[in-house]
Structure 1
Amino acid sequence: MLYPELFKSLEQVRWNMETDIPWDQFDASKLTLEQAQTIKMNAITEWSALPATEMFLRDNRNDSDFCAFMSVWFFEEQKHSLVLMEYLRRFYPELVPTEEELDKVRFEFDPAPPLETLMLHFCGEIRLNHWYRCASDWHTEPVIKQIYKMISQDEARHGGAYLRYMKKALNEVGDAASSAFAKIGVLMASSRRTEKPLHPTNLHVNQALFPHDTIQSRLPDPAWLERWLDGQIKFDGVWEKKVVERILHNLSLLFEQSFATVQDLNRYRKEISSRMAAAALE
C-alpha cells in the first residue's frame, strides 16, 4: 500500500496558508485587472478537483489504496483554489468567485477506464506544473508570484505520486497497464498537433452535456484558457517542449525504455498492442 508513505511525504512539505504566504509583501501597484481576472479563472478551474475526486472514487472503488490517497490529493487541490480565492478576497474582492460560479464546474464525469484516467491526470499534473511556473514568471505582483510557485511544486509532487501508482499497476496487471499508459502518453505528448491545450480540464467528459462538458466550457469566460496561455503568460514552444520532455522522461523510467521522441513512444505502444494481440490468440 502506497498511501501511508505518500501521506507522510506530502505532509512533511505541506505549506501553511497563513504563515508561508508572504501576504505582507503585497504591492498593489504591480497587480492589474487583467492579471486578477486570470487568478479568478484559475481559482474556479482548481475547484474542479471536486468532480474529479468523485470520478476517481467511483471508478476506483475496488482500489482502497488509491482512494485513500485521494483524500490527500483532494485536500491539496482544493487548497489551491482556496489560496487563490483568499488572495482575491484580500486584494481584489470584487473578483472572488461566487458559489454559483464554482457550482457550475461540478458535474458528473462519464465512467472511464481507470488506468487511462490515471495516466491522463499524471500528464495533467506535469502540464499544470509548467503552466503555473510560467504564470509565476508572467505575474509582477510578488505575493501571487510566490503562490503560483508553491502550487506548481504541489502539482509536481502529485505527478510523482501518480507515477508511483502507475508503477504499482505495471507490477499488478502488466501489459494492460503498459498499453493504457503508452496510448494516453502519445496523445498527451502530441499536443502541438492539436488546436487546443491537452489537459483534463479541457477534455470532454460527459456525452449528455456535450459541448458544455468540459471544465473550461463552464467557466464565466470559456475562451479564457487559450488566451491565458497564448496571449498572456506566453506558454510557447519552449515551454511546451519542456512538458513533452518531462512526460517522455518519466515514461522512459517507468517502462525501462528510452523515448527521445513521441514517435519512439508510439512504436513502443504498437509493440505492446501486438504482444497483447498475440497473447489473446494463444
Structure 2
Amino acid sequence: MLYPELFKSLEQVRWSMDKDIPWDRFDGSLLTDEQAKTIKMNAITEWSALPATEMFLRDNRSDSDFCAFMSVWFFEEQKHSLVLMEYLRRFRPDLAPTEEELHNVRFEFDPAPPLETLMMHFCGEIRLNHWYRRASEWHTEPVIRDIYKTISHDEARHGGAYLRYMKRALAQHGDVARVAFAKIGVLMASARRTEKPLHPTNLHVNQALFPNDTVQSRLPDPEWLEAWLDDQIRFDAEWEKKVVDRILHNLSLLFDRPLTTVQELNRYRKEVVTNMAAESAPQEA
C-alpha cells in the first residue's frame, strides 16, 4: 500500500494555518479590490475538491489504498479553500464566499475511466502549482503572497503522490495504463491550442447539466479564470511551457523514454496502441 507512506510524508510537512501564515504582516495598502476578488474565486474553486473526492471514491471503489489517500488529499485541498476564506474573513469580509456560493460548485460528476481521471488530476496539480506560483508573484500584499506560495507547494506534493499511484498502475495494468496516461497527457499539454485553460475545474463533467457542468461555470463570475490568467497573473507562453515541460519530464521518467514534445508523446501513444492491437490479434483469430 502507498497510503501509509504518503500519509507520513505529507504529515511531516503539513503547515499550520495559525502558526505558519504570517497574519501579522498584513498591509492593507497593498491589497487592491481587483486582487481581493480573485482570492474569493480561488477559494470557491478550491472548494470543488469536495465533489472531486466524491467522484474519486465512487469510481475507485475497488481500490481502498487510493481511496484512503483521498482522506489526505481532500483535507489539504479543503484547507486551501479555508485559508483563502480566512484571509478574506480577516481583511475583506465583504468578499468572503457565502455558503450558497460554495455549495453551488458541489455537483455530481459523471463516471469516468479511473486511469484517465488520475492522469488528468496529476496534470491539474502541476498546472495549479504553476498558477499559484505566478499568483504569488502578481500579488503585492505580503500575507496573500505567502499563502499562495504555501499552497503551491502542497499542489506539487499532491502531484508527486498521484505519480506514485500512476507508477503502481503501470505495474498493474501495463499498456492499458500507458495509453490512458499518454492520451490525457497529450490533451493536458496542448492548452495553447485550445480556447480555454485545461484544468479539471474547467472541463465538462456532467452531460445532463451541460453547459453549466464545469466548476468554473458555476462560480459567481464564470469568466473569471481566463481574465485571471491572461490579464492579471499573466500566465503567458513562457509559463505554459514550464507546465508542459514538467508534464513531459514526468512522463519520460514514467515511461522510461525521452519525450520532449507533445508530438513525441502522441507518437508514443500510437505506438503502444499498435502494439496492443498486434498482441491481441492472434487471440482473436
TM-score > 0.5 by shorter chain: yes
Instruction: State yes or no: 1:71 paired with 2:86.
Output: no
Whole-Å separation in 2 of the counterparts to 1:119 and 1:279:
25
Tell me the equivalent position of 1:41. Answer: 41
One-letter identity of the residue aligned with 2:203: L
- Give the structure 2 partner of residue 181 of structure 1: 181
CA distance in 2 between counterparts of 1:42 and 1:280 reads: 47
Coordinate RMSD, CA, aligned: 0.4
Q: Counterpart in 1 of 2:204?
A: 204
Whichever residue aligns with residue 64 of structure 1, its letter is S
Please name the residue that 1:84 is paired with. Answer: 84
Deviations 1:217-244 (CA, angstroms, capped at 9, x unpaired): 0000000000000000000000000000
Post-superposition Cα deviations, 1:195-230, rounded to whole Å, max 9, x if no partner, equal 110000000000000000000000000000000000
The residue identity in structure 2 corresponding to 1:79 is K
C-alpha separation in 2, matches of 1:280 and 1:147? 51
Distance 1:278 1:22 in 2: 59
Name the residue aligned to 1:124. Answer: 124
CA distance in structure 2 between the partners assigned to 1:278 and 1:73 by the alignment: 39
Deviation at 1:280, TM superposition (A): 2.0
Report the AA paired with residue 260 of structure 1.
T
Residue in structure 1 matched with residue 233 of structure 2 by the alignment: 233
Letter in 1 for 2:119: M
* Paired residues, number: 282
Distance 1:275 1:99 in 2: 51
SS at match of 1:108: coil
Matches within 5 A, 1:93-172: 93-172=93-172
Partner residue, 1:31: 31
Corresponding letter in the other structure for 2:179:
S
Residues 148-183 of structure 1 show CA distances to partners (whole Å, capped at 9, x for unaligned) of: 000000000000000000000000110000000000
Amino acid at match of 2:175: D
CA shift for structure 1 position 144: 0.1
- The residue type paired with residue 94 of structure 2 is E
Counterpart of 1:248 in structure 2 is 248
Q: Deviations over 1:30-56 (max 9, x none)?
A: 000000000000000000000000000
List alignment gaps of at least 5 residues for structure 2: none
Deviation string, structure 1 residues 119-148 (Cα, Å, up to 9, x no partner): 000000000000000000000000000000
* Aligned residue identity for 2:201: T
Match of 2:3 in 1: 3
CA distance in 2, matches of 1:106, 1:269: 34
Shift of 1:64: 0.3
Unaligned runs of 5+ in 1: none
Mapped partners of 1:280, 1:45: distance in 2: 43
Give 1:61's aligned amino acid.
R
What amino acid does structure 2 have at the position aligned with 1:184?
I
CA distance in structure 1 between the partners assigned to 2:226 and 2:191 by the alignment = 13
Partner of 1:215: 215
Q: Could you tell me how far apart the structure 1 residues matched to 2:241 and 2:64 are?
A: 36
Distance 2:88 2:275 in 1: 53
* TM-score normalised per structure 2: 0.99
Distance 2:277 2:214 in 1: 34
Q: Which segment drifts farther, 186-195 or 48-57?
A: 186-195
How many angstroms apart in 2 are the aligned matches of 1:276 and 1:211?
Answer: 36
Matched AA of 1:199 = H
1:279 Cα shift? 1.8
Shift of residue 253, structure 1, vs aligned partner: 0.4
Aligned AA for 1:97?
A: P
Moved more, 188-197 or 272-281: 272-281
Give the AA of the match of 1:77. Answer: E
1:278 CA drift (Å): 1.3
